[in-house]
Amino acid sequence: MLNNLAKFQGPALTDNQAGKYPVNVSSAIPLHEGEFAPLKPGWLLVPEIPYITFQAAPPTQDIIKYSAQHGLKTAFIFYDAIPLKHPDYTDAEAMHSEYMQQLALADLIIPISRYAADDLVSFYLNRLYFQTETLPEIAPLMLPAEVLDRERHMPAPGSQPPNLFLAVGTIEPRKNQLGLLHAFQRFCDEHPEHNAQLILIGRLHPSGARDVLKAVWKNPKVKFIEFADDKFLNDYYSQCDFTVFPSVEEGYGLPIVESLWFGKPCICANFGSMAEVAEGGGCLTVDTKSPEAIYSALSSLLLQPVLLRTLKDEIKERKFTTWSDYGFNVKRLIEKEDAPSAQISKIYYWVDHTRAYPANSGIQRVARGLASSLQKTDIPFVPVGWDAERKEFVIPDESDLIHLEKWNGPAADKWERNLPSEDENGAWLLVPELLTYQQTPDIPSISRCIPAIVSYARKRNMRACIVFFDAIPYKMTEIYPVEAQHAHAEYMRLLSLFDQVLCISEQSKSDLLSYLRAHLDRLVNVEQRIKAVLLPAEFSGIERQPVLNRGAESSPITILSVGTLEPRKNHVTLLEAFERAKTLTSRPMKLVLAGLAPFPDIAETVKAYCAKDADTNWIDQPDDKTLGELYRDCDFTVYPSLEEGFGLPILESLWYARPCICRNASSMREVGEGGGCILVETADPEALAKAIMNLGNDPQLLHKLSEEATQRKFKTWQEYGQDVLRELASGSVWRARAYPPKNVAPARSAFHAPFLSICISTYNRAPWLALSLPLLLKQTASYRDVIEVVVCDNASTDETPKVIEPYLNEQGFCYFRNPENVGMLGNLRVTAQRAQGQYIWILGDDDLLLHGAVERVMKAILEHPDVSLVYLNYAYTTIADAEKVGDIEQFLRSGVPISPPGPDLFAPISKLATLSENFFTAIYCLVYRRDHALLAYSQNTDGRPFSSMLTCIPTSHYVCQHMMSEAGYWIGEPGLVVNMNVSWGKYAALWVLERIPELYDLAELRGANPSEVDRWRANNLPGALHYLEQIYFADTENNIQYFSIGRFIARHKHLKEFRSNLRNFIKIYEKAFNQGHSMALEEPAKLLAQYGVSQ
């Protein structure tokens, strides 16, 4: 099959590639099972129109679904909306409309012209009722002008008057060849002496064929050729003087560029995509809808050779894009879509300390290196400091920015320098420094400073991110004074205010989480905002060194130790170990310490060692040049530190290909395990001495470790910057638009959609459908001109078709039956796709509308046309058997309201979220605007049921993630009675213990009132206690693999209701622990201590 692609200048497989693909369709295997799996991360690019297919059914939606399931994003080339716009394509309109609707679920749509893009946007805005925020990503890219199998021809001067012109294209009404023939007939009638000739080439379409042939036969100066091979066509292009492309509707206009490629000017339309193609020159553009305009253009070129020469000169100057250019630009669009910058509008970069700090410490290295990396992106990048008195950002002055530029820092002239506006949606504040550097780093100053900074950002609708380095002042109580410990603890506590905290190592992340779990009263949504983004190992401006090669074994060994001389760096132990190592070997050794000594007692100790031992030397505050020479002159390094947030000097040593002895714990282990290091307990002088002696005495080991160092792949600052941007993008709900919509006209003004679609999704519950459908049809009978009723049957095998049959001819009623069962969530997707209303309301087959519900929904939408979601209160019953309903009116009155009946409320959806315990989980109480319905019901729900929100409550996930800031309407009176008997009871423990708490967290994160959410959290606790017992001791479905007791405690520890009932929860866990349960391995007391709670 792939050999067919090689035809007509298509891509050919090499011999090596050919062996990787199946020989024929029958031997094909699923892509995710073949050599190219796993697919993530990646894209599927679809350059075809999928409904033009040999498949049994159009696969567009299946393509998107399959790709999402296997981690692929999808990009589609879009050609045109002609079947929706031109009356000759009525037969294809429904299929093309469905195809365009399905494209809205793709990650990227690439129209072949701006005109095609405008049509697509018009369709989404005017027929699917999308808003700017919900539009898919649309990025128009003009097709190239290159004709692959033909060399480009430069226009010939032409010594004879023009007389031969060509018109190429399928002969059909929208191509308007009839208008050209009439215009040329007029020219021939008015200029009988002129020997002009028209060659009309193209396949004859049945529509309008008779009129075209009649016009051809009437004029002897017209020659019609229906089929022309490439050679024949090339000859005519070579012979003609110009071409005419009279089409009135195109997605692009390929014959225009084909003409120009052959060096022939072209008469074409001055509107639509044809005008876009003509923009580069070489075309005479006119209103091709007007025979008069076509006649004038023909007369101008046939009678005015000067104009023809001018157009030929334009062709000579015109630069044509090639297919290689097009492929490159498609790739760039996809890369841009993948890039984090698509979700970040601006970065305000905190440099308040680094802009004035005289040295380049580890933190300043990070601030400078990250800034240099981010300056290379296309994201607007603004440096900011802080005015503590006025509590607002300030722009650093020129001298500050010049100081920042030192030590390979960010270029002073590459910053933007504008303060934030009142609304900085999509922007981030990024803090790469400590915020405890104030002159008086006490608890009150920290408690004032950090909240003020975050508040300033939040008031301007920006998000805030901070880099976290370490918990050292808090952890090392034997070294740091109590004041410093408490100040650092307060600093770590306040980091919970930030939207993202990026820790420089897994160790620093673990330390921060341990502290916050134990000391923060409210942990909701905190842990997931704390990420580890490891620092890079690149040292800008320093060339990476080759493998170390030393001389004879008897030559002296030089050992270097770089780092500030302070207690936790453990230099005194190193000096002791060095003394011992020298006694264990006859090989001469020298030790060089390099670093600042801010602690006088340590400085005196080091001086004393240097005074009594000529082989020990200390260089105070070496500059970069001196430090580089020290690394190059040494044989290996020792980094004896006891505690680090990362351990940059270890990687710096490896950058110079010098092995490093470092501690076998904390972040030093993280850094050292990649090779080139010896890991020991540096707190033990004996172990450290032995490691120094062994490495000094073993040239082969030294060479091996040096080789390992050179082979390590080190993260660059550019890669670190991209990692940071990815984390910012993951926490952003804003998105840049490649093609912002314009005020485009409707695709077809005659199109009228229903105002509201009320749909029933059903499968094998004919008795319930026999109750709910007649009731629904009766309640909507008076509104069937604006309301459609839709039933989507998921391939039922019971009496469902018979229940439907009496209503098939009802006005405004539609029945669809799936050819095969697509699952419960899959049928919701199909139902939403089938519905045509501006608003879509999907019910279950056992959901019965109460009287007046339809009117209240209509009234809410009509009075609030900007509403995105109508959210209904409802009542419930536990009657599972439809035959036991009895009197329908009595049944409707017997329902128990899920929330107390009350007044309606028009408000942001975030405010409506807490009005019911439902939190958008039940489809039957959600009336979506059409765009949201299509998107909400088409999410990727693949995975084990109830293992995530998407696999059980995709509607809640969608509303909370995407709609909380939009306008909603709560109907306080119950609108329907629903059946609370569920088919998923085997997952109930996971639902109550994980999914419901996760939903509450997400709703709060996206703006729901925390105290109101807490009310529902407390309401869920009795059920949680019951299901905790079940998940540990009666779990037949292995639900517990998706449950975490620690996560449950973190989510609820702040609730007084949880603390008062803690003993009962822990009693269940303790029982599981005592029985050796595999998911209860932590001692109960230790588990509680981790989260700062006690019985």
> Which pLDDT score is estimated for 411?
96
Under CATH, to which class is 753-983 assigned? Answer: alpha beta
In this predicted structure, the answer to whether residue 41 has a pLDDT above a threshold of 80 is no
- C-alpha 696 chain-centroid distance: 51
Q: Residue 1061: name the closest of 1092, 1031, 1088, 1021 by CA.
A: 1021
In this predicted structure, the answer to whether residue 19 has a pLDDT above a threshold of 80 is no
Handedness of CA 1013, 1014, 1018, 1021 (dihedral sign): positive
> Which pLDDT score is estimated for 554?
65
Residue intervals in the chain for CATH 3.40.50.2000: 164-320, 557-710
Average pLDDT over residues 735-760: 68
Bridge partners of 560, per DSSP, are 592, 637
CATH of span 557-710: 3.40.50.2000
pLDDT by residue (tens digit) across 225-259? 998 888 888 899 999 999 999 999 999 999 999 99
**What percent of the chain has a predicted confidence (pLDDT) above 90?**
79
Question: Cβ contacts of residue 805 below 8 Å, gap of 6+?
Answer: none
> Which pLDDT score is estimated for 821?
95
pLDDT by residue (tens digit) across 1021-1051? 999 999 999 999 999 999 999 999 999 999 9
368: left (phi > 0), else alpha (psi -120 to 50), else beta?
Answer: alpha
pLDDT by residue (tens digit) across 414-451? 999 999 999 999 999 999 999 876 545 567 777 889 99
> Which pLDDT score is estimated for 974?
97
Confidence of residue 734 (pLDDT cuts 50, 70, 90): confident
DSSP 992: I
| The pair of three-digit structure tokens given for residue 659, joined into one six-digit string | 């092995």
Which pairs count as long-range contacts for 395-402, CB under 8 Å and 24+ apart, including other chains? Answer: 395/419, 396/351, 396/355, 400/351, 400/355, 400/356, 401/355
Instruction: Name the strands in the sheet holding 108-111, side by side, starting at the edge strand that comes first in the sequence.
Output: 42-46, 72-78, 108-111
Rounded to 5°, angle at Cα 956 from 954 and 958: 70
In this predicted structure, the answer to whether residue 747 has a pLDDT above a threshold of 50 is no
pLDDT by residue (tens digit) across 150-175? 889 998 876 678 899 999 999 999 99
> Which pLDDT score is estimated for 746?
43
Rounded to 5°, angle at Cα 570 from 568 and 574: 170
Confidence of residue 34 (pLDDT cuts 50, 70, 90): low
34-48, 252-266, 289-303, 420-434: the lowest-pLDDT one? 34-48
| The pair of three-digit structure tokens given for residue 685, joined into one six-digit string | 């002088």
**pTM for the whole thing?**
0.90
pLDDT by residue (tens digit) across 884-915? 888 899 999 999 999 999 999 999 999 999 99
**What percent of the chain has a predicted confidence (pLDDT) above 70?**
95
Buried b / exposed e across 777-803, counting CB within 10 Å, b at 16+? bebbeebeebbbbbbbbbebeeebeeb
| Distance separating alpha carbons of residues 65 and 859, to the nearest angstrom | 36
Preceding peptide of 41 cis, ω within 30°: yes
Confidence of residue 593 (pLDDT cuts 50, 70, 90): very high
Confidence of residue 751 (pLDDT cuts 50, 70, 90): very low
CATH of span 164-320: 3.40.50.2000
Cβ pair 791, 760 in contact under 8 A: yes
Bridge partners of 869, per DSSP, are 928, 968
| Distance separating alpha carbons of residues 1008 and 894, to the nearest angstrom | 32
317-321, 373-377, 450-454, 741-745: the lowest-pLDDT one? 741-745
Q: Residue 604: name the closest of 618, 615, 589 by CA.
A: 618
**What single letter denotes the amino acid at residue 993?**
L
Cβ pair 356, 367 in contact under 8 A: no
| The pair of three-digit structure tokens given for residue 287, joined into one six-digit string | 């209103």
| Distance separating alpha carbons of residues 573 and 578, to the nearest angstrom | 9
In this predicted structure, the answer to whether residue 649 has a pLDDT above a threshold of 90 is yes
Cβ pair 640, 564 in contact under 8 A: no
More confident residue, 998 or 548: 998
CATH of span 347-532: 3.40.50
Q: What is the 3-state secondary structure (H, E, C) of 130-180?
A: CCHHHCCCECCCCCCCCCCCCCCCCCCCCCCCCCEEEEECCECHHHCHHHH
- C-alpha 575 chain-centroid distance: 52
Buried b / exposed e across 992-1031, counting CB within 10 Å, b at 16+? bbbbbbbbbbbbbbbebebeebbebbeebbeebbebbbbb
Coil vs helix vs strand at 823:
coil
Confidence of residue 982 (pLDDT cuts 50, 70, 90): confident
> Which pLDDT score is estimated for 750?
42
Residue intervals in the chain for CATH 3.90.550.10: 753-983
